Amino acid sequence: MFSTDHTHVLLLAIFIDALVGDPKWLFRRISHPVVTIGSLINFLDKQFNNEKFSQNTRKLHGIIAIFIILGVVGTTGWLIELVLESLAYGFAIEAVIVAVFLAQNSLYRHVYAVAYACKSNDLDSARKEVSHIVGRDPIALDSSAICRATIESLSENFSDAVVAPIIWYLIGGLPGILAYKALNTSDSMIGHLTERYEHFGWLTARLDDAANFVPARLSAVTIAVASIVIPSTNTLGSVKVGLRDARNHRSINAGWPEAAMAGALGIRLAGPRYYDGILIEDAWMGDGPPSANFIDIYKALYIYCAACGVTAFWVFLLSLSGLF
Cα(141)–Cα(146) distance, rounded to whole angstroms?
A: 6
Least confident of 107-116, 121-130, 219-228, 281-290: 281-290
Beta strands at 284-285 and 269-270: parallel, antiparallel or unpaired: antiparallel
Give the pLDDT band of residue 206 (cuts 50, 70, 90): very high
Q: 310 near 218, Cβ under 8 Å?
A: no
The pTM of the full predicted model, rounded to 2 decimals, is 0.93
* 80 falls within a domain: yes
Q: Can you say whether residue 4 is alpha, beta or left, with left for phi > 0 and alpha for psi between -120 and 50 degrees?
A: beta
**For position 138, what pLDDT does the model report?**
82
Q: 186 near 45, Cβ under 8 Å?
A: no
Give pLDDT tens digits for 170-204: 999 999 999 999 999 999 999 988 889 999 999 99
Give the pLDDT band of residue 5 (cuts 50, 70, 90): confident
Q: 77 near 93, Cβ under 8 Å?
A: no
* 94 falls within a domain: yes
* 271 falls within a domain: yes
Whether 2 has a pLDDT exceeding 60, the answer reads: no
Whether 207 has a pLDDT exceeding 50, the answer reads: yes
Q: With CA atoms as reference, report the closest residue to 155 among 30, 265, 282.
A: 265
User: pLDDT above 70 covers what percent of the chain?
Assistant: 97
User: pLDDT above 90 covers what percent of the chain?
Assistant: 79
Q: With CA atoms as reference, report the closest residue to 26 among 129, 97, 87, 115.
A: 97
**For position 275, what pLDDT does the model report?**
67
* 68 falls within a domain: yes
Count of structural domains, the chain: 1
Cα(269)–Cα(11) distance, rounded to whole angstroms?
A: 32
* 307 falls within a domain: yes
**For position 1, what pLDDT does the model report?**
40
Give the pLDDT band of residue 288 (cuts 50, 70, 90): confident
Q: With CA atoms as reference, report the closest residue to 81 among 151, 179, 148, 162.
A: 179
Structural domain containing residue 209: 6-321
By the 10 Å C-beta count (0-12 exposed, 13-18 middle, 19+ buried), 111 is classed as buried
* 1 falls within a domain: no
Give the pLDDT band of residue 3 (cuts 50, 70, 90): very low
Computed over every residue of the chain, the mean pLDDT equals 92
* 12 falls within a domain: yes
